[in-house]
Amino acid sequence: MAKQSTATATPVLLTRPEARSLAFAAALDVHFGDRLRCVMAPLMAPRILSPSLPEGHFDAVIFTSATAVEAARKLGVPLPTRAFCVGARTAVAARAAGFVASSAGGDAGDLVAAILSDPARGRLLHLRGQDSTGDVAERLTAHGITTIPVIVYGQDPQPLTSEATGLLQDPAPLILPIFSTRSAALLSAALPETTRARLHIAAMSAAVAKAAFVMPNDALVIARQPDAEGMLEAVGTLLADLPPP
């Protein structure tokens, strides 16, 4: 069977920070090969911060993103060895950084439930981004596990690239994976008035879908599970429903 040309491959617009977009593009290539053409247009760029940490002992650290793990590595201060992570990819990054990490395999709610089912003995330290959802520290503290949140990175907004603008102005199908409510808000605000693309949106969660629904779209699929595998499956569902090029 002949390879599909890039001219007929369905474009996928990836708006996550560059490193995360590259990782997801590689996964898309493994799963779908030449059926998709990935276009990078990060709407956010991570900015690592150097905050002072609270004094006193912490029994474990919480990570809700791989970027937080990277920021933790650059703090240059001793941290607890044990780490609770929201998902498998974050846990892999934490283990590579030397933590003894466990994955909740889901979203913030799954993470809170996992910690409550196997609680630490002392305080927890939640190293997180400036924009975070799920109220992890607040929910754990409300359940009697004192959890201190510390912001260790920001995500600076970036403008759409000219290539992304061109795709959005082209009246053709465009697959759009959206991983967070902030990404949905930034993209919605950045859409050119001349947008004509037939958007097929893969949303990481119901909350992301709600934030993305304000954008005109031909289809919107919510990932069965809030992780990369769930998003790959959602992209596959959208791709299967498109007519052949």
Domain at 77, CATH number: 3.40.50.10090
Looking at the domain assignment, is residue 1 inside a domain? no
Lowest mean pLDDT among 55-69, 105-119, 176-190: 105-119
Lowest mean pLDDT among 97-106, 111-120, 121-130, 216-225: 111-120
Looking at the domain assignment, is residue 34 inside a domain? yes
Cα dihedral 123, 128, 134, 136, rounded to 10, equals 0
Token reading at 215: 């954008």
135 in the same domain as 72: yes
112 in the same domain as 15: no
53 in the same domain as 117: yes
184 in the same domain as 218: yes
- Give the range of the structural domain holding residue 134, as residue numbers without chain letter: 46-156
144: left (phi over 0), alpha (psi -120 to 50) or beta: left
* Residue 7: pLDDT over 80: no
Mean pLDDT to the nearest integer, 172-200: 94
Among 137, 141, 119, which Cα is nearest to 127's? 137
Which residue carries 């947008």 as its tokens?
Answer: 195
Q: How many domains does the chain have?
A: 2
Among 125, 166, 167, 168, which Cα is nearest to 147's? 125
| pLDDT of the residue at 1 | 30
Looking at the domain assignment, is residue 5 inside a domain? no
61 in the same domain as 142: yes
Please spell the DSSP secondary structure of the chain, one letter per residue: -PPPPTTTSEEEEE-S-HHHHHHHHHHHHHHHGGGEEEEE--SEEEEE--PPPPSS--SEEEESSHHHHHHHHTT-S---SEEEESSHHHHHHHHHTT-EEEE-SSSHHHHHHHHHHS--SS-EEEEEESS--S-HHHHHHHTT--EEEEEEEEEEE-PPPHHHHHHHHSSSEEEEEE-SHHHHHHHHHH--TT---EEEEEESSHHHHHHHTTS--SEEEE-SSSSHHHHHHHHHHHHHHSPP-
Looking at the domain assignment, is residue 2 inside a domain? no
75 in the same domain as 20: no
| pLDDT of the residue at 132 | 76
Please give the angle made by the CA atoms of 75, 99 and 121, to the nearest 5 degrees.
100
* Residue 32: pLDDT over 90: yes
| pLDDT of the residue at 5 | 46
pLDDT, the chain, mean: 92
| pLDDT of the residue at 237 | 97
Dihedrals phi, psi of 54, to nearest 5 degrees: -60, 150
